[in-house]
Amino acid sequence: MTIKSKLFNKSDIIAILVIILSSIIFLTDTLLFKNQPANMDGTIHITNIAIFHQAMSDGDFPVRWTDGFANYGLPMGSFAQQLTSYLGALLTFLTNNVVVSFNIVYIIGTLLSVLLFYIFLRFHFKTWPSFLGAFLFNFAPYRIINLYIRGAIPEYFSSVFLVAILIFLYLLFKKKTVWSYLGLSLSIFGMILCHPMNMLTGSFFIGPYLIYLLSKEKNKLNSLLLVLSSMFLGVLLSSYYLLPLLKDIQYFYYGSSTNHYTEGFALNLKNFTDPKWYYFLPNRNEILSRGHFIKTGLIEFLLLIVSLVVFISNRIKKLKINLFDLAVLIGIICLLLTTKLAEPIYQSVDFLSNMQFPWRMLSTFIFIPPIILAYLMSKFPKKFWSIILGLLLIAIVSWNRFAEVYGKNFTVFPQDHYYFTIDNLHTSNMNTIWTAKTTDYPVHQQDKVAILEGQALLSDIVIKNSKRTYKISAADNVRMIDYTFYYPGWKVFSDGKEVPIEFQDINNKGVITYWLPAGNHEVEVVFTQTKTVLFANLLTIFGLIIFFLLVIMRKRVNKLLLNNL
């Protein structure tokens, strides 16, 4: 039976429609209210959308400099999560409202992730078990937390690409076509742009699943090289973002530390079993937003416990390793990595410490209980009892979680509130090492260009996101200031000739200043590409050339794949 024939029958259509209906219920507050609920990170990501929209409105693409961010601007275009920021910015050209765009991105992420996960489950299970798994995934507590409590849209949206990676891995092994190869590359690309940290957490599923698929292949080495080359192409496509992110972090306080693990946030048994949702946590000063209590879900935890018993039984019987066995092992590893037991690992392995908070492993764990559920439901000898238990589970999940899909303390801000912020919303760790706190500087949003020393007249001033132009008539040498935080790439040109920049004046720490000679001049202050950015862009262009060559030559490449694998 082909993959296509396994899907899209009448029962699948009904299942998909019910899944969409359940997603609408899940998104009720998001659909009904265009205002912003009080949450942990929502303002940060709405502001990202706003500053990307402003930069693109001024003709900047790709976005590098974001002038309205952190008082005097920072290169958040090279550091902020890309996909949700760009998607939200593009939507804002249609909606003219960054909060509405933010909500639409959430809607898209919700529908895509649950529908793709249903398709992935259908590769391994029948319709009813797959539907139950998708339903449980949709209402996973960590998804509710990320939407209505944390407002962590990049991490939430990354679920789309984690599932897409799993789907295209499966298709690449089963179909061995250029489209599945390129689909995997694009999924890796999307995952990195969505949130590089989730590429790290997701690897705890992707890696074992790849090994599982490889175990069924005759030509394991060639198959592995094929997958790795596809993944490398995805990384190559994302180079424009990934390379500056990794290299230029040295300019920020964040880069001065090699280990970023935050102690005190490990989960315990209460986080795994407590069914209560906390409206607020005054001991953490979480009054305005809903209580930031991270939980796996009691149902999910019990499923993992039951699955462990089944797993041991399967191993005693020496049954073949299947997706269920894989899910059990991944689930146990994920939960262990959220606890204090894993702290020595995070403290000693700097690469893993980039997760910062161990509970971020739940972004991978949320896929595990649904797979376990689908497997257990598929093993019932009589479908009648499977349906009865499935309906009972739906009733329990609905009763427990439908009431929790809501925002708290919706607020109405003018749009300008998101297009300019005096504070660095990504925390002071993301300030450059040559600047002080961004709130310590006076606001100069309207008068970016000014004279510090000397006498001169300014005219024809044009201020854009990453560029300022003006004319100056100076009676003597003048010292100018651009109320912009210096960053490699900023240059000043007077009559086409580059002028040296100073940014270490103790009275204007980290702010661009420069001298102009007496006379009449046309001045341009512009953010240009550094060697790192230029090289990163060239790598992405090279990746795009490879990508489109594979599309053009797909018939020949398909034959090559089928003959060698």
Using alpha carbons, list the distances in angstroms from residue 300 to 48, 308, 372, 527.
Answer: 33, 13, 9, 50
Q: Which helix (H) or strand (E) holds 505?
A: none
Q: Examine residue 37 and say whether the peptide bond preceding it is cis (omega within 30 degrees of 0).
A: no
The three-state secondary structure class of 159 is: helix
Round the CA-based radius of gyration of the chain to a whole number and report it. Answer: 26
Tell me the domain boundaries of the chain. 3-419, 444-528
Q: What is the predicted pLDDT for the residue at 171?
A: 94
Question: How many other C-beta atoms are found inside a 10 Å radius of the C-beta of residue 479?
Answer: 15
The neighbouring-strand residues paired with 451 are: 480
- φ/ψ (deg, to 5) at 203: -65, -20
DSSP sequence for 319-353: PPP-HHHHHHHHHHHHHHTTSGGGHHHHHH-HHHH
Q: Return the closest-CA partner of residue 331 out of 388, 283, 291, 373.
A: 373
| Token representation of residue 269 | 């048994």
User: 57: closest CA among 466, 535, 433?
Assistant: 466
Most distant CA pair in the chain, distance: 93
Strands, E, within 14-65: which ranges? none
pLDDT, residue 2, reads 45
Instruction: Give strand pairing partners of 36.
Output: 411
Whole-number pLDDT of residue 46: 96
Residue 564: predicted pLDDT: 62
Closest listed residue to residue 334, CA positions, set 357, 353, 362, 354 = 362
- Which tens digit of pLDDT belongs to each residue from 123-168? 999 999 999 999 999 999 999 999 999 999 999 999 999 999 999 9
What stretch of H or E contains 462?
A: strand 456-464
Q: What are the tens digits of pLDDT across the range 199-227? A: 999 999 999 999 999 998 888 888 899 99
**Other CB atoms closer than 10 Å to residue 204's CB: what's the count?**
18
Does the predicted model carry a pTM greater than 0.85? yes
Given CATH 2.60.40, say whether it is the number of domain 444-528. Answer: yes
Residues of the chain with pLDDT under 50: 1-2
Contact predicate 108/91, CB 8 Å: no
d(CA 183, CA 181): 5
